[in-house]
Structure 1
Amino acid sequence: MASLRKAVELRASALMVDVRRTRDDILVIEHDAVRMVDDREVPIREKSLADWRARSADTDSPIATLEDAMAVAAQAGIGLILDFRESGTEALLARAIRQSRFSLDSILVTGADATSRTILRGLDPRIPLGHTLGPENASQINAKLLAALDVDAVTWHHRLLTPPIVNILHLRDIRVYGWYADLAEDMRRLRDTCKVDGVITNAPDLIRTI
């Protein structure tokens, strides 16, 4: 939560969080699938929200919920990118988005595989969905993929993005976000050469300077 508030302070246009669920089906924002408990790794989904809150309250990273993140973004009037981390929780996510009353124009669900995207489309076709690729997936980018993408945006590793690829995606009205660009030269290339719609970074203080 401290990181999200700092990003707001630095005038980020959107916040990106990883979404997982607890044993009692509460969606939390957590990058890793496990946390250390008594020197052993315990999956987030094996304990309730109350249990995680009790265990993490006095640490430097207390557990936070998706609702908490939505409240920060909504109060700041900025967007929210949800990196969907667990298949099987599509209904929980769709319900949380509906109940939050968060503007769908300001939200993007990314990270989901093709099956999860199909399920989410069926649950609520209004939810904007994204397609994610990491640097190890360069071989997947071809004309067939670019023509077949049925998403509102892509969140691809910045090394995968070139001006021709971005141009093709823009012609299909697909927004393009490059991640994680944490060096000034990568940020400038995405902005000036590739002309992406947004840069996802762990260094918002640096991107603010350029």
Structure 2
Amino acid sequence: MKKHFLSLLVMTVMGLSAIAQTKVIAHRGAWKQDNLPQNSIASLQKAAALKVWGSEFDVHLTKDDVLVVNHDADFYGMDIAGATHAELRTKTHPNGEYIPTLEEYLKAGLKLKGLKLILELKSSSLGKARTQDAVPMVLAVIKKLKAQDRIEIISFDYEACLKFRELNATIPVHYLTGDKSPQQIKDAKLTGVDYHYSLFQKNPTWIQEFKALGLKTNAWTANKQEDIQFLIDQKIDFITTDEPELALKMVK
């Protein structure tokens, strides 16, 4: 009986430790070591092979209302907001991939077991109204693919974050800019924040303040060993990094 109790106790402690452990998110996929195109399906697959918790990617809206995945506002010199999807497909990544639509990208990601897909809606170069237009389109693709349980949403556009929450009460939504207090994020019913790591260094009590309100904490983009270690020591929930291999070794 005593041995059984001790076994249960050890398993419980190990379970709690696993829950509390900082998780690693690959920034734009895992691209750096193998020189893969950022935000490509190849870098997404590499992130899954590393067994990171999640992989972040960026979404833009084209002139003809197609959601595509790319970090910059241009795709090899072609302005995404001012181009049609067909026009964008006249160019390719160096590995031969076309710019993926959000639907294509999510379909590829959903095949990768256990990988969270961290969707960043980029602010449109055409203004806030165009960014707002993209919000229900993003949610429609997620619903179509039944991907709700695999997606978390982030954005620098606070109004877009509020719109996501207004239209969907369950998908996690995190704010990126770093100008909102823990209470403001709580009052907005967002899930948490994804702030630049330097803001947590300048405000070392913030992580615990957010956690005290039941909010999640993530930091971008921590690549140096000392910055990653600081965040681990602070028990941050997630670290977004261009160096997922290094971060994985450190959290383990």
SS for the counterpart of 1:54 is coil
Contact 1:15/1:73 (8 A) holds in 2: no
1:50: how far off?
2.8
The answer for unaligned runs of 5 or more in structure 2 is: 1-40, 125-130
Secondary structure of the residue aligned to 2:209 is helix
Cross-structure match for 1:129: 173
Q: Secondary structure at the residue paired with 1:73?
A: helix
Structure with higher Rg: it is 2
CA RMSD after TM alignment: 2.1
Partner of 1:33: 73
Tell me the residue number matched to 1:101. 146
Quickly say closer, same or farther: Cα 1:18–1:12, change in 2 above 3 A: same
Partner of 2:208: 167
CA offset at residue 73 of structure 1? 2.9
Report Cα offsets for 1:102-157 as digits up to 9, x if no partner: 133x3221114232223222322223211112xxx5xx46xxx2211121021101
Whether 1:46 and 2:82 are equivalent positions in the alignment is yes
Please identify, of 168-177 and 68-77, the stretch whose mean Cα deviation from structure 2 is larger: 68-77
AA aligned to 2:75 is: R
For the 8 Å contact 2:78–2:88, the answer to whether it is kept is: no
Q: 1:9 aligns with which of 31, 38, 49?
A: 49
Whole-angstrom CA distance in 2 between matches of 1:31 and 1:61: 15
CA distance in 2, matches of 1:32, 1:57: 13
Q: Is contact 1:130-1:153 (8 Å) kept?
A: yes
1:83 and 2:113 matched? no
Q: Size of the alignment, in residue pairs?
A: 196
Counterpart contact for 1:163–1:195, Cα < 8 Å: no
> Are 2:160 and 1:113 equivalent residues in the alignment?
no
Give me the TM-score of the superposition, normalised by structure 1.
0.84
**Paired-residue identity, %:** 25
Moved over 6 A (4+): none
Structure 1, unmatched stretches of 5+, are: none
Q: Is the 8 A contact 2:148 2:171 kept in 1?
A: no
Q: Identify the structure with bigger relative contact order (alpha carbons < 8 Å, sequence gap 6+).
A: 2
* Alignment-derived partner of residue 92 in structure 1: 137
Contact 2:75/2:88 (8 A) holds in 1: no
Give the CA deviation at 1:209: 2.4
User: In 2, are the aligned partners of 1:14 and 1:73 still within 8 Å (CA)?
Assistant: no
1:56 matched to 2:95? The reply is: no
- d(CA) in 1 for partners of 2:148 and 2:193? 19
Matched AA of 1:114: Y
Give the Cα–Cα distance (whole angstroms) in 1 for the partners of residues 182 and 50 of structure 2.
34
Aligned pair in 2 of structure 1 residues 68, 120: CA closer, same or farther (>3 Å)? same
Q: Could you report, residue by residue, the CA deviation over 1:71-102 in whole angstroms, capped at 9, with x for unpaired residues?
A: 33322221111111131311111111111211
1:157 and 2:196 equivalent? yes
Instruction: Specify whether residues 63 and 163 from structure 1 end up closer, same or farther in structure 2 by C-alpha distance, changes over 3 A only.
Output: same
Alpha carbons of structure 1 residues 60 and 184: separation in structure 2 relative to 1, 3 Å: farther
